[in-house]
Structure 1
Amino acid sequence: MSKKTKQELENNKLSKRLRHAVGDAINDFNMIEPGDKIMVCLSGGKDSYALLDILRQLQASAPIEFSLVAVNLDQKQPGFPEHVLPEYLESIGVDYKIVEEDTYSTVKRVLDEGKTTCSLCSRLRRGILYRTAKELGATKIALGHHRDDILATLFLNMFYGGKLKAMPPKLISDNGEHIVIRPLAYVKEKDLIRYAEMKEFPIIPCNLCGSQPNLQRQVIGDMLRDWDRCYPGRIESMFSALRNVVPSHLADTELFDFVGLERGQNLKHGGDLAFDSESVPKRFSDGTDDSEVHIETKPERKVINILASKPKNGCSM
């Protein structure tokens, strides 16, 4: 096999892996529904480029109809190449809107020299994007945060905020008007780096926040990358933990009724195991069959598989 053929094979495997990871996240959290108008927030970084690219692939093959509009917020950073995104979006035939707001000057004016700008910049940007989504009639707002971003947020909140909180793959805005989705929630950052190189996206660096030294998020990111290198599988296990939360084994009285806990009460995840072994026996040590524990379940909601093919001959799902 030639070097070129091998590289093409690897590229195809990467594309397929990313497409399926995004499709799985969309399916698991019911991110996209028939008739949705999705506002894809495009920063000019590798993550948002990949997000738009993969959503376009799914749009072409999915069994439901939905539309995409790319939105970039031009924050008037000095030296920002204003021509790059419009030229790229026109070349691929995507509807887009460039929103011009001088948040750069606002952040520099309000914050003292040397202070990190991320928090204020994020709040300003979020408000503008929500307003733009309303103006465009968008039903969903898609952001390019990936698996590593979600885990980094978890540790930032634990280490510096005293909260067990991450980025959810799907959320509703505080005013209840907008649904925000993160279709890259299952995607590894290192795969996105390779994908951006493969696709040759015209990357635009963020000079406002990316150049700041000693950012807490950067420190956490370095920690996660070091763990991933030294302890294969640890990152995957941590992300799985976000999808396997056991409120009865934490300490939040708002999430679990510790006060009302009584003898003889059956708990969904068992009562006295603080650490689960890799293989859990089918029967508890006291001989109780766990199949006898009754767990209330919500009625199943029909979700269309975004990875399925479009119906043929005009047939509907």
Structure 2
Amino acid sequence: MIDEQFADAKAPTESAYFRKLQKKLRRQVSWAIRDFNMIEDGDVVMVCVSGGKDSYTLLDILLLLKRIAPIHFDIVAVNLDQKQPGYPEDILPAYLNEQGIAHYILEKDTYSIVKSVVPEGKTYCSACSRLRRGSLYGFAKQIGATKIALGHHRDDMLATFFLNLFHGGALKSMPPKLLSDDKQNMLIRPLAYVEEKDIIEYAKLKEFPIIPCNLCGSQTNLQRAIINDMLREWDNAHPQRLASIFKAMQNVAPSQLADRELFDFETLTLDRDNDERLFEGDNIQAGQTDSLAEIGLPVSPRTQTFNPKFASDKPYSTETDKAAQNERKAQKIPTINPVI
């Protein structure tokens, strides 16, 4: 794989490996946009760019799709400079200008606010995220952006699912599309179908100028990091497991869970017909027959070996069934080709 990736070391984005990977990401993002109606004709999509691999990849793929999409939509990149110590504030503007991408850089010292409200030793991520989200939501409305695109990918959604499962007591995750609580903004996650390992490869080949996300020094011992390690171990040992879990998130059966708000268990009632279906077996032993009779239950329930009426409901076939089927096949009248 390494030879395939870097066969042309001078131009990794011209390799067959890169073109194949880019096509895969473009296809997955297109599917997510289609499945959840994320982007419509005339939309102004505000792509939140943090300087990490995910947001760079999101912006790059959306710009690619914009050029070939059958509808018209505009893209504007927005970065919030939160004034973290050591933040390289020149990297993103330089990259966006070099690529000719319309953008805004918002400057707001949320770092000092977070430091003042979060107790020493606690992680800043939750408070920092809330402040960042509020600023970006308000700015999207201010400039008239109709969609806010975030760089969360499939593995982020899985990690959030397990964080809520293990620590929040809830079956919920990050949805691919979300209307904000105040109904003022629509959030979309076009990378919903994309695996993180593919984003890592894509970012390496594109040589994005990555800005580290641990400048605040609060990233150690996060539960999310522990969950991410668990997911990576699963993916290495069982490559299809994460895909199966994500598929399960798209295939929810409320009647098979225990949420009384989601499914009405209290009013469930029987709707039996008058057809009697006898137990298919050899014998039924009844004990304490006097008590059974007192309850009104049969003392000697009948049995049957096989009832063809219920054959279509059977999850398996007995040897007797197979013999009967073979006999019916043998007696079948052959079809004569009229041309012959």
TM-score normalised to structure 2 length: 0.77
Q: 2:31 aligns with which of 10, 21, 24?
A: 24
The one-letter amino acid paired with 2:172 is K
**In 2: Cα distance, 1:256 partner to 1:39 partner:** 37
CA deviations on 1:5-61 (whole Å, 9 max, x unpaired) are 697111111000000000000000000000000000000000000000000000000
Q: Which of 72, 91, 94 in structure 1 is aligned with 2:79?
A: 72
After superposition, residues 66-215 of structure 1 pair within 5 angstroms as 66-208=73-215, 212-215=219-222
The one-character-per-residue Cα deviations of 1:256-288 (angstroms, maximum 9, x if unpaired) are 1111112239xxxxxxxxxxxxxxxxx64499x
* Counterparts of 2:166 and 2:225, CA distance in 1: 13
Q: Does structure 1 conserve the Cα–Cα contact (< 8 Å) formed by 2:47 and 2:75?
A: yes
Cα deviations across residues 170-214 of structure 1 (Å, max 9, x unaligned)? Answer: 000000011000000000000000000000000001234565211
Judged with a 3 Å threshold, the aligned counterparts in structure 2 of structure 1 residues 84 and 147 are, in CA distance, closer, same or farther, namely: same
C-alpha distance 249-4 of structure 1, shift in aligned 2 (>3 A): same
Does the Cα contact within 8 Å between 2:45 and 2:74 map onto a contact in 1? yes
Q: Is the 8 A contact 2:52 2:210 kept in 1?
A: yes
Deviation string for 1:225-278 (max 9, x for gaps)?
00000112000000000100000000001111111112239xxxxxxxxxxxxx
Aligned AA (1:25): A
| Equivalent residues, number | 271
Gaps spanning 5+ residues in structure 1: where? Answer: 266-282, 288-317
1: CA distance between counterparts of 2:268 and 2:33?
37
Distance in 2 of aligned mates of 1:194 and 1:286: 45
Percent identical among aligned pairs is 62
Q: Does the Cα contact within 8 Å between 1:116 and 1:209 map onto a contact in 2?
A: no
DSSP 3-state at the match of 1:79: coil
Q: State how far apart, in whole Å, the 2-side matches of 1:132 and 1:74 are.
A: 14
Relative to structure 1, the CA distance from residue 257 to residue 232 in structure 2 (aligned partners, 3 Å threshold; closer, same or farther) is same
TM alignment of 1:216-235, pairs within 5 A? 216-235=223-242
Unmatched tracts of structure 2, length 5 or more? 273-311, 317-340
Helix, strand or coil at the partner of 1:253:
coil
One-letter identity of the residue aligned with 1:4: A
Aligned match of 1:300: none
Equivalent pair of 1:170/1:180 in contact (CA under 8 Å): yes
1:237 and 2:244 correspond: yes
The runs of 4+ residues in structure 1 deviating greater than 6 Å are none
Change (3 A) 1:234 1:44: same
Aligned match of 1:302: none
Tell me which amino acid in the other structure corresponds to 1:182: R
The match for 2:44 among 27, 37, 49 is: 37
In structure 2, the partner of 1:274 is none
1:73 alignment partner, SS class: strand
Normalising to structure 1: TM-score of the pair?
0.82
Report the RMSD for the aligned CA atoms in angstroms: 2.0
Give the 3-state SS of the residue equivalent to 1:123 in structure 2.
helix
The answer on 1:4 being equivalent to 2:11 is no
Judge conservation of contact 2:159–2:227 (CA < 8 Å) in 1: yes
TM-superposed CA distance for 1:129, in Å, is 0.5
Partner of 1:306: none
Tell me, yes or no, if the aligned pair for 1:77 and 1:207 is still in contact at 8 Å.
Answer: no
Aligned counterpart, 1:47: 54
